[in-house]
Amino acid sequence: MMKKLLILIVIIALAGGGWYGWTKYNAKSPHGKGPMGMQRPGGAPGGARGGNQMPSENDELPPGTPDAEGNIARSTKVKRDNIELTVSTTGKITANTTVEIKSKASGTITKLPYDISDHVTSGDLLCELDPVDELRNVRLKNVALESAKARVSQQEINLKIQELNLETQTSSTHAALAASEVKFADTVDKLARARALFQKQLLSKEDLSAAENEMAQTSNSLQQAIIDVRELETQPHQLELKRQDVKLAKASVLQSEVDLENAQQALSDTKIYAPSDGVITERTVQIGQIIASGVSNVGGGTVIMTIADVSHLYVDASVDEADIGKVKVGQNVTITTDAYIGKQFTGKISRVAAKGTNSNNVVTFAVRIEVDNAGNGLLRPEMTANIEIEADRRQNVLTLPNEAIQMYRGQNFVDLKGKNDTPTSVTIVTGLTDGLKTEVVSGLEDGQEVLYPAALYSKWSKTQGGNFAQSMGRAAAMSRRR
List the CATH number of the domain containing 116.
2.40.50.100
Best mean pLDDT range from 182-196, 278-292, 468-482: 278-292
Q: What is the DSSP letter of 386?
A: E
Which tens digit of pLDDT belongs to each residue from 359-378? Answer: 999 999 999 999 999 889 89
Flag whether 245 is in a domain. Answer: yes
Cα–Cα distance measured from residue 353 to residue 355, given in angstroms and rounded to the nearest whole number: 5
Residue 185 CA neighbour count, 13 Å, CB half: 5
DSSP 341-373: TT--EEEEEEEE-SS-EEETTEEEEEEEEEEGG
Q: Are 412 and 426 in contact (CB under 8 A)?
A: no
| Domain end (from 235, 266, 297) | 266
Flag whether 207 is in a domain. Answer: yes
Which tens digit of pLDDT belongs to each residue from 14-73? Answer: 555 554 444 444 434 333 333 333 333 333 333 333 333 333 333 333 334 454 555 454
Q: What is residue 185's predicted lDDT score, i.e. its pLDDT?
A: 79
Q: Are 324 and 349 in contact (CB under 8 A)?
A: no
Q: What is residue 459's predicted lDDT score, i.e. its pLDDT?
A: 46
Cα-to-chain-centroid distance, residue 207: 110
* Cα–Cα nearest to 65, from 46, 85, 98, 40: 40
Flag whether 399 is in a domain. Answer: no
The yes-or-no verdict on residue 239 having pLDDT over 70 is yes
Cα–Cα distance measured from residue 402 to residue 400, given in angstroms and rounded to the nearest whole number: 6
- 151 shares its domain with 251: yes
User: Which residue type does 93 have?
Assistant: I
- 149 shares its domain with 255: yes
- 328 shares its domain with 355: yes
Flag whether 316 is in a domain. Answer: yes
Which tens digit of pLDDT belongs to each residue from 271-309? Answer: 999 999 999 999 999 999 999 998 887 778 999 999 999
In a 10 Å sphere around its CB, with 0-12 CB exposed, 13-18 middle and 19+ buried, how is residue 263 labelled?
Answer: buried
DSSP 308-336: EEEEEEEEEEEEETTTGGG--TT-EEEEE
Q: What are phi and psi of 100, to 5 degrees?
A: -85, 125
- 341 shares its domain with 421: no
Flag whether 455 is in a domain. Answer: yes
Flag whether 35 is in a domain. Answer: yes
- 238 shares its domain with 335: no
193: part of which helix (H) or strand (E)?
helix 132-199
Q: For the residues 207-216, what does the mean pLDDT come to?
A: 80
Q: What is residue 223's predicted lDDT score, i.e. its pLDDT?
A: 82
Number of domains the chain is built from: 4
Cα–Cα distance measured from residue 107 to residue 358, given in angstroms and rounded to the nearest whole number: 46
C-alpha separations of 444 from 48, 228, 265, 314, 469 in Å: 20, 124, 79, 44, 32
Quote the domain boundaries for residue 301: 104-128+273-305
Cα-to-chain-centroid distance, residue 391: 24
Q: What is residue 28's predicted lDDT score, i.e. its pLDDT?
A: 40
Cα–Cα distance measured from residue 328 to residue 278, given in angstroms and rounded to the nearest whole number: 30
Cα–Cα distance measured from residue 405 to residue 402, given in angstroms and rounded to the nearest whole number: 6
Best mean pLDDT range from 157-171, 227-241, 317-331: 317-331
Please tell me whether residue 414 adopts helix, strand or coil conformation. strand
| Domain end (from 393, 426, 455) | 393
Q: Which residues contact 424 (CB under 8 A, 6 or more apart)?
A: 415, 416, 418
Which tens digit of pLDDT belongs to each residue from 121-133? Answer: 999 999 999 999 9
412: part of which helix (H) or strand (E)?
strand 411-417
393: part of which helix (H) or strand (E)?
strand 384-401
* Cα–Cα nearest to 390, from 340, 354, 432: 432
Q: What is residue 32's predicted lDDT score, i.e. its pLDDT?
A: 35
The yes-or-no verdict on residue 473 having pLDDT over 50 is no
Least confident of 23-37, 136-150, 210-224, 262-276: 23-37
Please tell me whether residue 378 adopts helix, strand or coil conformation. coil
In a 10 Å sphere around its CB, with 0-12 CB exposed, 13-18 middle and 19+ buried, how is residue 277 labelled?
Answer: middle
Q: Are 451 and 442 in contact (CB under 8 A)?
A: no
Q: What is residue 364's predicted lDDT score, i.e. its pLDDT?
A: 97
Dihedral sign (CA 98, 104, 106, 107): negative
Q: Which residues contact 470 (CB under 8 A, 6 or more apart)?
A: 64, 65, 66, 70, 457, 461
Least confident of 41-50, 253-262, 445-454: 41-50
Q: What is residue 6's predicted lDDT score, i.e. its pLDDT?
A: 52
- 202 shares its domain with 246: yes
Q: Are 372 and 332 in contact (CB under 8 A)?
A: no
Looking at the DSSP assignment, which residues form a beta bridge with residue 394? 83
- 161 shares its domain with 199: yes
- Give residue 101's pLDDT band: very low, low, confident or very high (50, 70, 90): very high
Cα–Cα distance measured from residue 398 to residue 82, given in angstroms and rounded to the nearest whole number: 9
Flag whether 82 is in a domain. Answer: no
Q: What is the pTM of this model?
A: 0.57
- 413 shares its domain with 387: no
Q: What are phi and psi of 380, to 5 degrees?
A: -135, 150
Flag whether 374 is in a domain. Answer: yes
Residue 169 CA neighbour count, 13 Å, CB half: 15
> What does the mean pLDDT of the chain come to?
79
Q: For the residues 314-335, what does the mean pLDDT come to?
A: 95
Taking residue 159's Cβ as centre, other Cβ atoms within 10 Å add up to: 18
- 359 shares its domain with 278: no
* Cα–Cα nearest to 72, from 420, 456, 465: 456
Q: Which residues contact 48 (CB under 8 A, 6 or more apart)?
A: 402, 433, 434, 435, 438
- 177 shares its domain with 262: yes
Cα–Cα distance measured from residue 463 to residue 233, given in angstroms and rounded to the nearest whole number: 137
Higher per-residue pLDDT: 178 or 340: 340
Share of the chain above pLDDT 70, in %: 78
Q: What is residue 13's predicted lDDT score, i.e. its pLDDT?
A: 54
Cα–Cα distance measured from residue 255 to residue 249, given in angstroms and rounded to the nearest whole number: 10
